[in-house]
Amino acid sequence: MPATLVKKSRKSARTSAPKAKPKKGASARRASKKPAKRAGKMVYYFGKTKTEGRAELKALLGGKGANLADMTSIGLPVPPGFTITTDTCAAYYESGKRLPRGLMDEVVKNVRTLERELGKKFGSTKNPLLVSVRSGAAVSMPGMMDTVLNLGLTDDAVEGLAAATGNKRFAYDAYRRLINMFGDVVMGVDHEHFEQAFNEVKSKYGAAADTDVPAEGLVELCHAYKGVYRHHVGSDFPQNPLKQLELAVEAVFKSWNADRAISYRRLANITGLNGTAVNVQAMVYGNMGDDSGTGVAFTRNPSTGENKFYGEFLVNAQGEDVVAGIRTPTTVDEMPRWNKKVYEQLLKIKTKLEKHYREMQDIEFTIEKGKLYMLQTRTGKRTGFAAVTIACNMIKERLIDEKKALLRIPANDLTQLLLPSFDPAAKKNADVLAVGLPASPGAAVGKPAFTAAEAVERGRTGESVILVRRETSPEDVEGMHSAAGILTSTGGMTSHAAVVARGWGKCCVAGAGAISIDERGGTFTVQGRTFTRHDTISIDGTSGEVIAGAVPRVEPKLSGDFATIMKLSDKYRRLSIRTNADTPGDAKRAREFGAVGIGLCRTEHMFFEGDRIMAMREMILAETREYREAALEKLLPFQRADFVGIFTAMDGLPVTIRLIDPPLHEFLPQDEKSQLEVARRINVPVEKVRERVKQLHEMNPMLGHRGCRLCLTYPEILEMQVRAIVEAAIECHRAGVKAMPEIMHPLVGTRKELAILRRHTEEVIARTKKEQGFTAKLEIAIGTMIEVPRAALTAAEIAKEADFFSFGTNDLTQLTFGYSRDDSASFLPHYVHSEILEIDPFQSLDQVGVGQLVSLATVKGRETKKGLKVGICGEHGGDPKSVWFCHNAGLDYVSCSPFRVPIARLAAAQAALR
């Protein structure tokens, strides 16, 4: 046989090996694969005898199991045990919720090893082995079954434990805890049934606290608990430790699909996991006396990021006592006074763990009769502040490099650094009235205003008002701007209120359905309580809470570390970050946040303020081009002044101005009273106003007469707007300010549209320059939004007329999916909840569908015009995942609301580093 053939057959033999071991680094991605029919090796041991797992097997062993194995390997004092794999959980579900065949055999084998290692025996009447059983998925996840402790105790074994510890009270205390926990979390017996029995025993013995009950009382209690168990479960508390173990393992598997776990995964957007692992570990006791204890700690301060050991412990207690908050724990700072040796050992472990994981750790530990045991370590959760500080400190400490540091910070969490927030301490006792959607982060305190006009009026006097509306519309913008915060009773995360508020970084709680608003009466009612414009309320845009009274706030501090992270981000990112801003104020703020241009300056908001709306209405009501032009003439100075302000704020940076976009009817009043007012103000019969409103009414305004369709049918609007831009630019130039306008035509769907608009725009630019006698250089790029699917599909053609593309991913998403943002609340939450959609496509760009159009248009556009500038200016521009996509799609920039600029800068760097 020739050598090559031998080689080949060997190779294929290897490839088809049945037990493909998980490869190093496969990590989380591996979890998305379905397990083989039978999960191969189902149990991994860790202990002195052997340690089969390791940190890289997180997907298979869960975070907890992998880290227990890991800690064991690096010599930390970990009680031995074993982990049942996540694949086994998947197999459990695949075979219709039945434990895979062979599993319990493997479990028993590992129990035997454990027994040998510890010299104890399951169910022994002399020295029984007791274990804890815990769930543990690859990603930390509350909502699943937490813990069963002391498993292995039976009527016999409890006596053995009493004998071995010489502490009958301790033994029966452990037993009653087991029956209670097992009954509760494994068998679903309501905790209160046990509680009741405990109270009876306590009163019998006149005991105030649990610890006051004597041993005999606990013996009685165990008896009573078994009765409760029998009554509610319908069978006796199992006296076979292996049976206990089997039931507990299955309960952990079941808890993977408990409602709370599912909803947590949905909210945290965790997908692609196999299931949970089960960790079975020898018990150690923090409640064996005053030389014992238990605690949880962070290797650094998770709130501030300070590099200081941070945690709490309880003397003579079991782990759940710390978590449950029954007794008040002591901070670890005080530990040296209790046991200096253990404290120093903990500090050494802290350093060892951080060196090993190069990450801040969240640990659990127990001290049994003076001996320290590590029960868990995992990456510690932290605030945005802490994330930034820790990243910066760890660079300084040379624990990690700049790139790793940047990748560590969840970009979205930077929001916390930018907005004031309610004092967490004060919020603990808050009088929460309702919880709506956390539509726009922030913490606002004020008194309700029930109309936009009211908000403006009261805002003028310096009063802090919360605009409370069923929903908001473009007519409300001024009132929204005047308000300290916005609260709506309907509408979702992408409702008008939410989008506008986020754009401004203004606090907004949307869709607080529990609130019933009586606009005329000037009240809102919730939980049977009525609030008027004289009652102060607080709204938390980060949590969605609506709170009675004024909750104290803390202002953000943009620390030096924040600046460091921004600087580093700029060092590594390829994408430019622009901002969506319509006012000089927004533009200025965004520039401070690091925006290098405006990617979307909407012009229609400018038409709503004060007198402008009247001129706008006059224009719309005009019957001839001449009258329209006369009305537009009145708007021109306003627009020009607006642009002068924005150009000045962005001196030397490009400003992409989108010409008028919304349908004209949005500018007309819909109610009788306002129609009368308009008719009077601009001196036309009210019938005419009414008729025009009716005439302009559209079944589907999103798909109607808007965008560039307006300037194509009313070219005089384009003329006014372009003139205002050019005149403003010239005025700026003369004042020594470098204006760099780019004119963007929205909603283009065919090349011809843009060709006509481009020609017309160029004409007006040339004419205006001539009129102004301006001969200096003033280059104005002309481009288009790509927001209609057809524009993306025909990008090669459209690029012939465009100097730049800017993806309007809001509308592109609406059209690609056929979803109206305004109406999607009726089905979109259900879609996300039932995982029809992995994520709300208005929050994070749908890469498969909408993204396909973005990529296609980018490629096709650049095939036509090499170096075509391409950006994105939808809401997605500030979403880290979407920024990552834009980086990969080769875009030149993303544009987002001012407050998201820092997030986008970091996300862009992360995209480049990934």
Under the criterion CB under 8 A, does residue 849 sit at the interface with its own copies? yes
Report the nearest approach of its own copies to the CB of residue 522 (Å): 22
Instruction: Output the DSSP codes for 310-371.
Output: EEEEEES--HHHHHHTSSPPEEGGGHHHHHHHHHHHHHHHHHHHHHHHSS-EEEEEEEETTE
Contact pick of 340, 823, 863, 914 for its own copies (by CB under 8 A): 823
Is 450 one of the binding residues for its own copies (CB under 8 A)? no
Q: What residues contact residue 243 under an 8 Å CB cut-off, 6+ apart? A: none
Nearest-angstrom CA–CA distance, 444 and 506:
9
Q: Which of 846, 875, 879, 892 binds its own copies (CB under 8 A)?
A: 846
Residue 516 found at the interface with its own copies (CB under 8 A): no
> Helices 155-165 & 168-181, crossing angle to 10 degrees?
140
Helices and strands in the chain, H and E counts: 36, 33
Q: Is 790 in the site for its own copies (CB under 8 A)?
A: yes
**Distance in Å, CB of 790 to its own copies, minimum:** 4
The distance of closest approach from Cβ of residue 439 to its own copies in the complex, given in angstroms and rounded to an integer, is 18
Our CB check for its own copies shows the closer of 547 and 748 to be 748
Q: Does 789 bind its own copies (CB under 8 A)?
A: yes
Residue 426 or residue 793: which is nearer to its own copies going by CB?
793
Nearer of residues 299 and 814 to its own copies, judged by Cβ: 814
Closest to its own copies by CB, 235 or 713? 713
Burial classification of residue 555, based on how many CB atoms lie within 10 Å of its CB (0-12 exposed, 13-18 middle, 19 or more buried): exposed
835 forms part of the interface with its own copies (CB under 8 A)? yes
Note whether 364 binds its own copies by CB under 8 A: no
Q: Identify which of residues 195 and 823 has a Cβ nearer to its own copies in the complex.
A: 823
**CA pair distance 375, 568, nearest whole angstrom:** 37
Q: Count of CB atoms within 10 A of residue 202's CB?
A: 17
User: Cα(787)–Cα(586) distance, rounded to whole angstroms?
Assistant: 24
C-beta of 287 vs 824, nearer to its own copies = 824
Beta bridge partners of 374: 365
Question: Of 756, 764, 753, 818, which Cα lies nearest the Cα of 786?
Answer: 753
Does 205 participate in binding its own copies (rule CB under 8 A)? no
Question: Does position 13 bind its own copies by CB under 8 A?
Answer: no
713 binds its own copies, rule: CB under 8 A: yes
**Binding residue for its own copies (CB under 8 A) from 411, 455, 756, 886?**
756
Contact positions with its own copies (CB under 8 A) in 769-788: 787-788
Q: Which residues 6+ apart lie within 8 Å of 579 measured at CB?
A: 586, 587, 590, 591, 593, 595, 597, 598, 599, 895, 896, 897, 898, 901
- Residue 496 designated active-site: yes
Q: Measured from the CB of residue 94, what is the shortest distance to its own copies in angstroms?
A: 17
Q: Which of 750, 772, 843, 864 binds its own copies (CB under 8 A)?
A: 750
Q: Which of 272, 212, 260 is nearest to 26 (CA)?
A: 272
SS3 category, 730:
helix
Q: Decide if residue 747 touches its own copies (CB under 8 A).
A: yes
**Token pair of 493, please?**
């995360």
Among 837, 839, 859, 913, binds its own copies (CB under 8 A): 837
Q: Which residue among 193, 481, 496, 665 is the active-site one?
A: 496
Candidate segments 71-79, 426-434, 641-649, 747-755, binder of its own copies by CB under 8 A: 747-755
Segment lying near its own copies (by CB under 8 A), choices 107-115, 210-218, 274-282, 817-825: 817-825
Q: Which one of 873, 886, 887, 896 is the catalytic residue?
A: 873
Other beta carbons within 10 Å of 383? 18
Q: Shortest approach of its own copies to residue 546 CB, angstroms? A: 22
DSSP state of 395: H
Q: Is 852 in the site for its own copies (CB under 8 A)?
A: yes
User: Within 13 Å, how many C-alpha atoms sit on residue 49's CB side?
Assistant: 17
Least Å from the CB of residue 828 to its own copies: 9
Q: DSSP letters along 152-198, please?
A: T--HHHHHHHHHHHT-HHHHHHHHHHHHHHIIIIIT---HHHHHHHH
Instruction: State which residue, 458 or 496, has the beta carbon closest to its own copies.
Output: 496
Assess 93 for contact with its own copies (CB under 8 A). Answer: no
Stretch near its own copies under the rule CB under 8 A, chosen from 74-82, 438-446, 667-675, 811-819: 811-819
191 included as an active-site residue? no
Residue 862: strand, helix, or coil? helix
Q: Which CB sits closer to its own copies, 701 or 890?
A: 701
How far apart, in whole angstroms, are the C-alpha atoms of residue 634 and residue 637? 7
Residue among 184, 117, 129, 183 nearest 153 (CA): 129
Q: Least distance (Å) from its own copies to the CB of residue 911? A: 23
Q: Is the dihedral of CA 443, 449, 453, 459 positive or negative?
A: negative
Closest distance to its own copies from the beta carbon of 700 (Å): 4
**Whole-angstrom Cα distance, residue 249 to residue 135?**
9
Which lies closer to its own copies via its Cβ, residue 518 or residue 823?
A: 823
Q: Which of 724, 610, 705, 699 has the alpha carbon at shortest distance from 661?
A: 705
- Total residues contacting its own copies (rule CB under 8 A)? 50
Minimum CB distance to its own copies, residue 679 (Å): 22
Tell me: does residue 389 bind its own copies (CB under 8 A).
Answer: no
Rounded Cα distance, 28 and 273, in Å: 8
Of the pair 117, 822, the CB lying nearest its own copies is at 822
Nearest to 801 by CA among 841, 856, 744, 852: 744
Least separation, in Å, of the C-beta of 429 and its own copies? Answer: 36
Considering only 815, 857, 894, 911, the residue that binds its own copies (CB under 8 A) is 815
203 binds its own copies (CB under 8 A): no
Distance between CA 428 and CA 543 in Å, rounded?
Answer: 13
Min dist. Cβ of residue 477 to its own copies (A):
17
Q: From CA 861, how far away is CA 869, in angstroms rounded?
A: 9
Show contacts with its own copies in window 561-590 (CB under 8 A).
Answer: none
Judge contact between 147 and 180, C-beta under 8 A: no
| Contact stretch for its own copies (CB under 8 A) within 30-38, 130-138, 173-181, 834-842 | 834-842
Q: Judged by CB under 8 A, does residue 824 bind its own copies?
A: yes
- Give the x/- contact pattern for its own copies in 677-706, rule: CB under 8 A: ---------------------xxxxxxxx-
Residues whose CB falls within 8 Å of the CB of residue 302, separated by 6 or more in sequence, listed in order? 310, 360, 362, 380, 381, 382, 383, 386
Using CB under 8 A, which residues numbered 58 to 87 contact its own copies? Answer: none
The catalytic residues are 496, 873
The residues of the shown chain that bind its own copies, judged by CB under 8 A, are 698-705, 707, 709, 712-713, 747, 749-750, 752-753, 756, 787-790, 793-794, 797, 811, 814-820, 822-824, 826-827, 830-831, 834-837, 846, 848-850, 852-853
